Amino acid sequence: MPAIFPRWTNNVPIVIGLLAPLVGAGLIFAVWYWFSPYYTDVGYRPEQPVPYSHKLHAGEMGIDCRYCHNTVEKAAHAAIPPTGTCMNCHELVKADSPRLALVRESHAADMPVPWVRVHQLPDYAFFNHSPHLAAGVGCVSCHGRVDQMAVVEMKQPLSMGWCLDCHRDPKPNLRPLDQVTNMNWDPAETPYDPDRDANRKRKVNPPTHCSGCHR
């Protein structure tokens, strides 16, 4: 009786056995990399309804982060400033600029500017800005050099693994408490040991258990 399949088909199981692990490893790598926040979130830079430059305001003009994000030291969220905060300056500065038309309309109508949120955590993750600032974590650690950004973008993945790396070893991200919002502070130029800082009232001991961030 003649063979139903050609002789070369005898090698098919061998080829499958050799290729299957490689294909499986490739798929795992693809999901690990291309589905991770390092790839999907880092670099996210949405277009805002008003072209606001942090490079100009926080960088060149040196406006402190807390002037606009005034709840960052005492609340979970670093508040998006109301239009009145913008108008404190722009009542006089560039008061007729067409680029600020939406800001003026927002102020007149007592309605917020529809800013597009850049940094956002999942609803199941709890995050509070205030204890991080109280511990001496600088804005740069999570948000990057915002003072050099004409358009704000995500510089860190804000993933669970990334947060846990800091919680397990927070010292590299700690700085003197009076330098938290100083974008120019460089630990390489000013070595800092939080354990020897007399201004610290307690040792930083961030949680690494699940309920620390999932409540």
Q: What is the pLDDT of residue 11?
A: 86
Mean pLDDT, residues 205-210 taken together = 95
Distance set, CA 137 to CA 71, 73, 95, 110 (Å) = 16, 11, 36, 34
Of 2-6, 111-115, 188-192, the range with the lowest mean pLDDT is: 2-6
Mean pLDDT of the chain: 93
- Name the β-bridge partners of 174: 137
Q: What is the pLDDT of residue 13?
A: 86
CB 43 within 8 A of CB 153: yes
Two structure tokens written together for 197? 């800082």
Confidence check: pLDDT of 74 > 90: yes
Confidence check: pLDDT of 102 > 90: yes
Of 32-41, 67-76, 79-88, 198-207, the range with the lowest mean pLDDT is: 32-41
Q: What is the pLDDT of residue 98?
A: 95
Q: Would you kindly state where each structural domain of the chain is located, as residue ranges?
A: 15-44, 53-80+124-212
Mean pLDDT, residues 159-188 taken together = 95
Confidence of residue 1 (pLDDT cuts 50, 70, 90): low
Which of the pair, 1 or 140, is modelled with greater confidence?
Answer: 140
Which of the pair, 30 or 71, is modelled with greater confidence?
Answer: 71
Of 20-24, 109-113, 125-129, the range with the lowest mean pLDDT is: 20-24
Mean pLDDT, residues 151-162 taken together = 96
Task: Read off the pLDDT of residues 12-24 as tens digits, 9 standing for 90 and up.
Answer: 888 899 899 999 9
Task: Give me the percent of the chain exceeding a pLDDT of 90.
Answer: 78
Q: Which residue's entry shows tokens 């490689």?
A: 22
Q: Which residue's entry shows tokens 């063979």?
A: 3
Task: Give me the percent of the chain exceeding a pLDDT of 70.
Answer: 99
Question: How many CB atoms lie under 10 A from the CB of residue 90?
Answer: 17
Q: Which residues contact 171 (CB under 8 A, 6 or more apart)?
A: 193, 194
